[in-house]
């Protein structure tokens, strides 16, 4: 059975989005809790992956997922990943206004 490359890309984007969202949550934790002491390079790496990359990857996943749904292709991404990514995207969009 041949698997479409768009489905493989959607699965890859979902995995990258989960990783970036984990770093996003950790970056928020580091910014709000003062007793966490990490080296500056590590904090900067987490901030770049979390605060800068996560919104872009989430938007890319949402657009790719919407395209798969509109074309009625098979979706090989687990439901919990899709729900988590869309929830994190809504949190990131909501945090723009606070």
What digits encode the pLDDT tens for the residues 85-97?
999 999 988 887 8
Note the pLDDT tens digit of each residue in 57-83: 999 999 988 988 888 877 778 889 999
Cα–Cα distance for residue pair 96/98, rounded to 1 Å? 6
Q: How many helices (H) and strands (E) does the chain have?
A: 4, 0
How far lies 34's CA from each of 28, 37, 69, in Å?
11, 8, 43
User: Is pLDDT at 6 greater than 60 in this prediction?
Assistant: no
Largest interatomic CA distance in the chain: 53
What secondary structure letter does DSSP report for 38? -
Whole-structure pTM value: 0.81
| The pLDDT value given to residue 90 | 92
**How many CA atoms within 13 Å lie on the side-chain side of 46?**
16
| The pLDDT value given to residue 46 | 84
């Amino acid at each position: 059975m041949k698997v479409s490359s768009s489905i493989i890309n959607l699965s890859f984007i979902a995995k990258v989005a989960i990783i970036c969202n984990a770093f996003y949550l950790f970056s928020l934790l580091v910014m709000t809790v003062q007793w966490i002491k990490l080296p500056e390079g590590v904090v900067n790496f987490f901030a770049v992956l979390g605060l800068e990359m996560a919104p872009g990857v989430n938007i890319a996943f949402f657009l790719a997922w919407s395209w798969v749904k509109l074309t009625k292709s098979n979706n090989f991404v687990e439901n919990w990943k899709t729900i988590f990514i869309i929830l994190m995207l809504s949190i990131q969009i909501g945090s723009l206004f606070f």
